Amino acid sequence: MTRSYIMDEPDERNRLDAMAQGVIGRPLDRPEGPLKTSGTATYAAEYRMNGRIEGVLVTATIAKGEVTVLDESSVRDFPGVIAVISDDRMTARAAQGGAGKSPVRKVREVRYYGQPIALVVAETFEQARHAAKALRIEYREDAAALVDAQDDAIAFEQFEEPIIQGDLDKALNEAAHTVDVTYTTEGHNSAAMEPHASIADWDGKILTLHSSLQMLRFNRKELADALGIDPEQVRLVSPYVGGGFGSKLGISPEGVAAAVAAIRLKRPVRVVMLRQQVFQCVMRRSETRQRVRLAADAQGRLNGFGHEAWVTNLPGEEFAEPVLQASEFLYAGENRVLDLQLGRIHRVTAGSVRAPGEAVGMQVLEAAMDELAEAIGIDPVELRLRNIPEKHPSEGTPYSSRKLEECLRRGAERFGWDASPRKPCLRREDEWWVGTGMATATRVHNLNEAYARVTLRSDGTAEVASDMTDIGTGTYAILGQIAGEMLGLDPAVVTVRLGDTRFPPGSGSGGSWGACSTGSAVLEACEGVRAALAAKLGCEEAALKLKDGHAFSGADKVALSDLLGGVDVVQLGHFKPGKITEAFSAAMYGAFFAEVGVNAYSGEVRLRRFTGAFSLGRVLNAKTATSQCMGGMVWGIGSALTEGLTFDPRDGHIVNPDFAEYHIPVNLDVPHLDVLLVEERDPAGSPLQAKGVGELGICGAAGAIANAVYNASGVRVRSFPITPDKVLVGLPEI
Amino acid sequence: MPLTINGTDHDFIGDPRTTLLDYLRDECGLTGTKKGCDHGQCGACTVLVNGQRINSCLTLAVMHEDDQVTTIEGLGTASNLHPLQAAFVRHDGYQCGYCTPGQICSAKAMIDEAANGWPSFVTADLFEPVKLTTDEIRERMSGNLCRCGAYSNIVDAVTEILETKR
């Protein structure tokens, strides 16, 4: 029997705080840690199967056109080659997150450079790779395709109804202080360390795909739709995922190609993307151009707020980087213009990359806010504090728990923020200009439907099962802690099983909703188990105390294993966000404080100190939550200083499709990261009173670094990433 | 062609194009060594060859006749972790876990390199014994990328092991 909880209003019961075990929130080690650190956690490409053969994807070398010749005879006689497959069921793109249906197939109709067009299958990887490189292909090329995001011929269109309130132009004209600035950000790649990988096995009825995916219940439908089979005929297995960051939200081309090959060849087929293919044919974060207009009175109170953004995507894609998502609710200003424009361009699909929207929108908004603080002559922390609205500035809805002020104040204190008047180029240490900067963090809170099954075994141990994934976020740890807290068990005796569509469908990992959504399903299942135990004990559920494997009711104490009498209790829990999602503006908040050194001769920027104070509702595991925040901050460093996809303006190919040329932060780029978790309960966030964690740490982080670069050196770079060449041109003479 | 992996004798007879990485993963079943880029750019495939760290994707299996190869599986097991592996767990020096075996193999070799006096880019004095400061650890671990961003915790894990040794 399923126990459902549809969340229409804030859940004030606060069940977790009413429990006795005392494990929720504690900084426990991840239960899968010994497997990961000993190399025995099994990732998608690592399953051994008899007769497994290898496929290598072949990708297009034109931006737009059609494959006219795909000459199988050019490789047929190569040693080991089994087949060249270019099938109507294969997918030319990755699915967008939550699509639940096949992405564009038609692999021979090329729409971007790097699009998969065929799969070469051979007995070994070396043989397949060699043949894939030698396969003779001819194209009919459409040379007029737009591939350059700077091309004036791109016709941008409004992506959604803009928000227009009052008269922003008038507010700007009459304001004591204004800012009107345009910033740009480059495209990003998720670049998870594990390349997209799949092994497909077809037994004539069931297609089993071991794959690296984030949201199995959607991916199952996407794969089935592409193959033209029933979702019930698809089993997906992803217990360990080597990072996702949005790039594995949807089924990706290698998984579908492996499945097609396995069905056709009746042998298990493995396809692993080459690192370059991960860049070329999965997802990019769109480059953005953003104009921010701010109007403030003499005290720094905003009465005009404009944020407009221009982004791109492939024709036919329904996703536009939601750049303005946080600008809708973060700051005051009754005269508002928020407008997102989408242009069509023949570059690899634009989709979700960690914190879509806020990741790039917040860093620009927070840099513009720094410019406003300077124009007014007030402390940038104070400017933020003066512009925290009473209610949602457009919709009028109340905020759920919001600790932005506390994050700003406590973060500043922790960092040792100097609130005295600010001026650039005041501090030099040898060849380094040294300065500080800050920014607000915020990210919308999302929820998703989820199921989970909890089994309290008759021996007093428990199992949690869901097709939910752990992409490094700590799902194994926190679901065990939720069940342990609710059932009065040491999490060490709670086994968490994830990443298999044979388990009930969880929320999947994406949009920072995983812990709250699937965790709430676990909570609901545990409520059912508790009710069953109370019935056995003959007491009200509210009077039942569970701790250390024992049930307590009044003066009675009984071991769970005795109470259960040899019979397991199995409960399916279901969580669904209802009216709550419209009733409040719910978000996570925080504040970043950075200190940088800017080399006075080369323009190189080195981050010296980085503090983040975050409020994200209840913390479910202080260790993994802290790590998530750190990870976001590291992404902020990359976005600020080094990361940017470079496209060839002639054919749209990615010039830097690997780790040698696309520079993610390395260890020496990252100082000790100082993370402060500000304790919070948010009854509107989820029944756990928790909110999302995984993306907040990036949202605004690069803005703090940009502001520190300005404070150190006096160079205001309005084009991310802030590479030395951009700093060098503005450095003062010394 | 004989070579030793984690103390066990092996005989490589495969395709000469096979990298040491693919040989370990596909022929020997030692999938703890990860493939992240296949181009020596990420360090996920780091193993020890005769005690020194190497990107196993950048070398062919046939180049290792009579070599002693140590992979993550040779350092410790899930039920009997090497102290570095245990420190990574305690300090949460990983998230998704994919770069982790490479990080740990790299840290193991790095500690030995420093003990043997090898300088790095951030070593101020080339003639003094090397002290593994946090900046030395960061520099010497910079060949091992971690997209989850666990660097701060990795440095803490390695530092704890160094302090235990002192």
The string of DSSP letters for A699-717 reads TTHHHHHHHHHHHHHS---
User: In whole angstroms, how far apart are CA A477 and each of A27, A99, A179, A401, A496?
Assistant: 10, 28, 46, 25, 8
A575 plus A632 within the same structural domain: no
A517 plus A566 within the same structural domain: yes
Map residue A293 onto helix, strand or coil: strand
For residues A209 and A703, what is the distance between their CA atoms, to the nearest angstrom? 41
Q: Which amino acid is at A106?
A: K
Report how far apart the first and last C-alpha atoms of chain A are (Å, whole number): 75
Map residue B47 onto helix, strand or coil: strand
Whether A538 shows a pLDDT value over 70: the answer reads yes
Q: Which helix (H) or strand (E) holds A67?
A: strand A65-71
- B77: which DSSP letter? B
- A20: which DSSP letter? S
The per-residue pLDDT of chain B, averaged, comes to 97
Q: Which pLDDT value is given to residue A123?
A: 98
A546 plus A657 within the same structural domain: no
Confidence of residue A354 (pLDDT cuts 50, 70, 90): very high
Chain B environment of A634 (Cβ under 8 Å) = 149, 151
Closest chain A C-alpha to B153 CA, distance in angstroms? 8
- Give residue for tokens 């400061």: B133
Peptide bond before residue A721 is cis, with ω within 30 degrees of 0: yes
Is A172 inside any structural domain?
no
User: In whole angstroms, how far apart are CA A341 and each of A312, A313, A324, A363, A671?
Assistant: 8, 11, 11, 19, 37
- All domains in chain B, ordered by first residue: 2-75 (3.10.20.30), 83-165 (1.10.150.120)
Q: Which pLDDT value is given to residue A143?
A: 87
Confidence of residue A555 (pLDDT cuts 50, 70, 90): confident
The beta-carbon neighbor of A635 closest among B18, B97, B149 is: B149
Q: How many CB pairs under 8 A join A and B?
A: 192
For residues B150 and A630, what is the distance between their CA atoms, to the nearest angstrom? 7
Instruction: Phi first, then psi: give them for residue A409, nearest 5 degrees.
Output: -70, -45
Q: What is the ipTM of this complex?
A: 0.98
Does the beta-carbon distance from A48 to B29 stay under 8 Å? Answer: yes
The beta-carbon neighbor of A37 closest among B29, B85, B135 is: B85
For B136, the closest chain A residue by CA position comes to: A668
Q: Taking the CA atoms of chain A, what radius of gyration do you get in angstroms?
A: 27
A93 plus A21 within the same structural domain: no
pLDDT tens profile A507-534: 999 999 999 999 999 999 999 999 999 9
Does the beta-carbon distance from A471 to B96 stay under 8 Å? Answer: yes
From the candidates A174, A334, A695, A733, which is the catalytic residue?
A695
For residues A95 and A223, what is the distance between their CA atoms, to the nearest angstrom? 10
> Taking CA A427 as the corner, what is the angle to CA A425 and CA A431, rounded to the nearest 5 degrees?
90
pLDDT tens profile A94-131: 999 999 999 999 999 999 999 999 999 999 999 999 99
Decide if A189 contacts A662 (C-beta within 8 A): yes
Confidence of residue A91 (pLDDT cuts 50, 70, 90): very high
Q: What is the 3-state secondary structure (H, E, C) of A416-434?
A: CCCCCCCCCCCCEECCEEE
Q: Decide which of A529, A548, A582 is a domain's last residue.
A: A582
Q: Which pLDDT value is given to residue A433?
A: 98
Is A351 inside any structural domain?
no
Q: Which pLDDT value is given to residue A627?
A: 98
Two tokens, residue A720: 């991310």
Is any Cβ of chain B less than 8 angstroms from the Cβ of A665?
A: yes
Is A276 inside any structural domain?
yes
Confidence of residue A413 (pLDDT cuts 50, 70, 90): very high
Does the beta-carbon distance from A665 to B90 stay under 8 Å? Answer: no
Q: Which helix (H) or strand (E) holds A550?
A: strand A550-553
Does the beta-carbon distance from B86 to A37 stay under 8 Å? Answer: yes
Is any Cβ of chain B less than 8 angstroms from the Cβ of A241?
A: yes
Chain B environment of A604 (Cβ under 8 Å) = none
Confidence of residue B165 (pLDDT cuts 50, 70, 90): confident
Q: Which pLDDT value is given to residue A1?
A: 81
Secondary structure E strands in A568-618: 569-577, 587-599, 605-615
From the centroid of its chain, how far is CA B97? 14
pLDDT tens profile A658-696: 999 999 999 999 999 999 999 999 999 999 999 999 999
Give the best residue of B56, B75, B122, B148 to mutate against chain A (max A CB count within 10 A). B148
Is any Cβ of chain B less than 8 angstroms from the Cβ of A194?
A: yes
Is any Cβ of chain B less than 8 angstroms from the Cβ of A424?
A: no
A37 plus A49 within the same structural domain: no
The beta-carbon neighbor of B22 closest among A32, A125, A665 is: A125
Whether A464 shows a pLDDT value over 80: the answer reads yes
Is A367 inside any structural domain?
no
Is any Cβ of chain B less than 8 angstroms from the Cβ of A623?
A: yes
For residues B6 and B8, what is the distance between their CA atoms, to the nearest angstrom? 6
Catalytic residue list contains A695: yes
Instruction: Phi first, then psi: give them for residue A147, nearest 5 degrees.
Output: -130, -10
For residues A260 and A269, what is the distance between their CA atoms, to the nearest angstrom? 9
Does the beta-carbon distance from B92 to A626 stay under 8 Å? Answer: yes
Percent of chain B predicted with pLDDT > 70: 99
Q: What is the DSSP string of B51-73?
A: TEEEEGGGSBGGG-TT-EEE-HH
pTM for the complete prediction? 0.98
A627 plus A640 within the same structural domain: yes
The total number of structural domains that make up chain A:
3
Decide if A519 contacts A688 (C-beta within 8 A): yes
For residues A383 and A298, what is the distance between their CA atoms, to the nearest angstrom? 11
A37 plus A57 within the same structural domain: no
Confidence of residue B166 (pLDDT cuts 50, 70, 90): low
pLDDT tens profile A262-290: 999 999 999 999 999 999 999 999 999 99
From the centroid of its chain, how far is CA A658? 20
For residues A620 and A615, what is the distance between their CA atoms, to the nearest angstrom? 12
Q: Which pLDDT value is given to residue B60?
A: 98
Decide if A167 contacts A304 (C-beta within 8 A): no
Question: Which residues span the domain enclosing A411?
Answer: 389-445+586-728
Decide if A319 contacts A103 (C-beta within 8 A): no
Whether A734 shows a pLDDT value over 90: the answer reads no
Comparing A556 with A641, the larger pLDDT belongs to: A641
Closest Cα partner for B21 from B54, B50, B68? B54
pLDDT tens profile A615-646: 999 999 999 999 999 999 999 999 999 999 99
Decide if A241 contacts A470 (C-beta within 8 A): yes
Q: Decide which of A256, A281, A306 is a domain's last residue.
A: A281
Closest Cα partner for A198 from A270, A249, A266? A270
pLDDT tens profile B46-70: 999 999 999 999 999 999 999 999 9
A58 plus A26 within the same structural domain: no
A607 plus A721 within the same structural domain: yes
Decide if A327 contacts A361 (C-beta within 8 A): yes
A671 plus A614 within the same structural domain: yes
pLDDT tens profile B66-82: 999 999 999 999 999 99
- Classify the C-alpha dihedral B74-B78-B80-B83 as positive or negative: positive
A554 plus A593 within the same structural domain: no
Secondary structure E strands in A166-268: 177-185, 197-202, 207-211, 234-237
Is A403 inside any structural domain?
yes
The per-residue pLDDT of chain A, averaged, comes to 97
Is A695 inside any structural domain?
yes
For residues A561 and B117, what is the distance between their CA atoms, to the nearest angstrom? 58
- A356: which DSSP letter? T
Mean pLDDT of the A540-552 span: 96
CATH number, residue A23:
3.30.365.10
Report the length, in residues, of chain A.
Answer: 734
Whether A372 shows a pLDDT value over 70: the answer reads yes
Q: Decide which of A281, A308, A339 is a domain's last residue.
A: A281
Percent of chain A predicted with pLDDT > 90: 99
Whether A42 shows a pLDDT value over 80: the answer reads yes
Is A293 inside any structural domain?
no
Decide if A278 contacts A191 (C-beta within 8 A): yes
Q: Which pLDDT value is given to residue A172?
A: 98
A431 plus A463 within the same structural domain: no
Is A470 inside any structural domain?
yes
User: How many helices and strands (H and E) does chain A possess?
Assistant: 17, 29
Does the beta-carbon distance from B41 to A474 stay under 8 Å? Answer: no
Q: Which helix (H) or strand (E) holds A109?
A: strand A109-110
